[in-house]
Amino acid sequence: MKASNMEYFQIALGVRKSKKDPHKFISIIIPLLKVGEVLQIARGEICPIPGVSSELLGVINQRGRLLWILNLTELLHLHDPSTMIKPQQKLTIVVLTSGTKSIGCVVSKLQGTVILDNNNLQPIKDKYSYIIAKTKLTTKSSLFLLNIDAIFKALLNSISYAQPNSMVTL
């Protein structure tokens, strides 16, 4: 592998539907080193926490530690209100890590790993800084690089604002 190549984990998120394309997905890449594990859980296993952002679904017990669960589609403002998560629904969770912090992100599909030349990543300006680059796969499809650090920063602010004396941390 060339020095400029890096391995990424590729996921898909369901986005707003249109009459033209009712099953549209956006492909997101995450540096493989930032992916801790993949879980499958029932929506009912998530304990909601009042007073936090709507994109935070709540927490689960992961081997004795609380793990926040994030609706990544909603955080990225791609949410389709007609596809609300139902209590009995099984969710695919990708656990992202940054140092000692972890968060579980709900994703629509797992698409495996890809090796990309970082020189082909084109920086983009995202209103929320959650997407920092993209690369073209074909003339019709692109991959978007998720900014893990910006997500952790935004969520830490959301949680600490909602629960200033809370011992729950990411």
Q: pLDDT tens for residues 43-102?
A: 999 999 998 888 899 999 998 999 999 999 888 887 665 556 666 789 999 999 998 899
Q: Does 2.40.50.180 match the CATH number of domain 5-162? A: yes
What is the per-residue pLDDT for 159? Answer: 63
Residue 76 CA to residue 87 CA, distance in Å, equals: 22
The pairing of beta strand 65-71 with beta strand 101-107 = parallel
- Residue 161 pLDDT greater than 50, yes or no: no
Tokens of 66: 């609380």
Q: What per-residue confidence (pLDDT) applies to 148?
A: 93
Helix (H, G, I), strand (E, B) or coil at 55: coil
CA quadruple 35, 36, 39, 42: dihedral positive or negative?
negative
Structural domain boundaries in the chain:
5-162
Q: Fill in the DSSP letter of residue 86.
A: P
Q: What is the mean pLDDT of the chain?
A: 82
Question: Alpha-carbon distance 3 to 110, whole Å?
Answer: 26
Count of CB atoms within 10 A of residue 150's CB? 15
Task: For residue 51, list its beta bridge partners.
Answer: none
pLDDT of amino acid 36: 95
Percent of the chain residues topping a pLDDT of 90: 41
Confidence of residue 166 (pLDDT cuts 50, 70, 90): very low
The pTM assigned to this predicted structure is: 0.83
Distance CA 170, CA 162 (A): 14
The region of weakest confidence among 4-18, 49-63, 109-123 is 4-18
